[in-house]
Amino acid sequence: MLDDCLELKELIEKETGFALTFEGIHKWIAFVHPKQNNILPVPNRYFGVYEDGTLKIRGIEARRHDTPLFFSKFQQEVLEIMSEGNNIKEVKALLPKVVDIYHKYIQLLKENKVPLGELAFTKRLSKDSNNYQKRNTIESNALAKLNTEGKFLKAGKTLQYIITDYYQKTKSKNNRAIPIDLVNERTCYDVKRYTELLTEACNSLTEPVGLKMTIPVSSLQSYPVIGEGCDGCESFRQS
């Protein structure tokens, strides 16, 4: 097969005049569907495994710089399990182990055992923080908190924030997120929202091989959020 691939590479180079790079042969590869289209996958979001066991990933959460470390670690652990399969049939046989990992991470969220720093989203600002319009978005909410404290970020700087009350369960409309700089021992993350995002991160990997995860009913109950009887997280530390 290697000789065939190299022969094809030379043929394409000869016909097009463009140099190609041969990276290796995949045991298997899966392309991820965009959220708005469950029929056609996109070419710049995929993951797979070379014959030597090396992972190849592009465009999924684990590769994005704005993704919280918690989700990246989860996807990396799942991919390590899936990489043990030599073909899609064998990968599907490993899915029960993936489900176990998914439930393990949900339990960490429910028990408030995730370090807050591992849940921080990252956004690079395109303009000074005090020049952003006041909109009901997570980022705007976090920036407003910074401005209220007399702290401002210049364009090009990075904003990191924790989601604390995504669905605005508290009376205050200014509690959807908190900048990492303002986190304290009473800060609690929004368990429900992070569980939803964990499920999305899981489905990015499992849906291409036929498994769509749904949030367990036990994880849909109301959880205390900042300002509503929250006593802080056991794991209060930024990393």
pLDDT tens for the 239 residues of the chain, in order: 777 878 888 899 888 989 888 888 889 999 887 766 666 667 788 899 998 889 998 888 888 888 999 999 999 999 999 999 999 999 999 999 999 999 999 999 999 999 999 999 999 988 887 777 777 788 888 888 888 888 888 888 899 999 999 988 766 667 899 999 999 988 999 999 999 999 999 999 999 999 999 987 666 554 544 444 455 555 555 54
Q: Which residues pair with 28 in a beta bridge?
A: 49
Q: Tell me the residue range of the domain where 108 lies.
A: 67-239
Q: Which long-range contacts (CB under 8 A, 24 or more apart) does 44-47 make?
A: 45/204, 47/79, 47/205
pTM, full prediction: 0.84
Q: Is residue 4 included in any domain, yes or no? A: no
Q: Is residue 24 included in any domain, yes or no? A: no
Q: Looking at residue 226, what is its pLDDT?
A: 41
Q: Please tell me the total count of domains within the chain.
A: 1
SS3 content of the chain, % helix, strand, coil (to 5): 40, 10, 50
Name the 3-class secondary structure at 194: helix
| CATH code assigned at 137 | 1.10.132.60
Q: Is residue 197 within 8 Å of residue 77, measured between CB atoms?
A: no
Determine the Cα–Cα distance for residues 84 and 88; give it in Å rounded to an integer: 11
Q: Looking at residue 234, what is its pLDDT?
A: 54
CA 171 to chain centroid, in Å, comes to: 29
Determine the Cα–Cα distance for residues 230 and 186; give it in Å rounded to an integer: 7
Residues 6 or more apart whose CB falls under 8 angstroms from that of 166 comprise: 138, 176, 190, 192, 193
Q: Positive or negative, the Cα torsion across 187, 119, 202, 140?
A: positive
Q: Looking at residue 235, what is its pLDDT?
A: 52
Q: Is residue 15 included in any domain, yes or no? A: no
**What are the start-end ranges of the E strands in the chain?**
26-31, 46-50, 55-58, 121-124, 158-163, 177-179
Q: Is residue 49 included in any domain, yes or no? A: no
Residues 6 or more apart whose CB falls under 8 angstroms from that of 47 comprise: 29, 30, 32, 55, 56, 57, 58, 60, 79, 205
Residue that has been written with the tokens 């056991």 in this structure: 234
Q: Is residue 227 included in any domain, yes or no? A: yes
CB-based burial label for 129 (10 Å; 0-12, 13-18, 19+): buried
Q: Looking at residue 200, what is its pLDDT?
A: 93
Q: Is residue 50 included in any domain, yes or no? A: no
